[in-house]
Amino acid sequence: MEPFDHRGMRMATKTMTSSVEQQYTWTENPDDIIVLANRTSKNFILDLPAGRYRLDAGRRMRTLRSILKHQQIMALVEDGSLTIE
């Protein structure tokens, strides 16, 4: 008998995944990872392709360097509101 969850969906079990070799299609390059820090006393709502992200005052976010391609992010970096660590 196979295990099912409360919605009737098949659940993964150790026996189902132990024989399957996991293949990753993407591994991070440490040079591509940056930390953006909000150095202001304002909270920002960042409109990113994956959706909105709230970056609160004094907080940091770990993200990909490619975020710097977005105009809103670059404007905040250039005016000193966000810094790259």
For 32-62, what is each residue's pLDDT tens digit? 899 999 999 999 999 998 899 999 999 999 9
Asked whether the beta carbons of 58 and 38 are under 8 A apart, the reply is yes
Q: Any idea which of 12-16, 35-39, 78-82 has the lowest mean pLDDT?
A: 12-16
* Residue 59: closest CA among 77, 41, 46: 41
For 14-47, letters b (16+ CB in 10 Å) and e give: eeeeeeeeeeeeeeeeeeeebebbbeeeeebebe
pTM (2 d.p.): 0.65
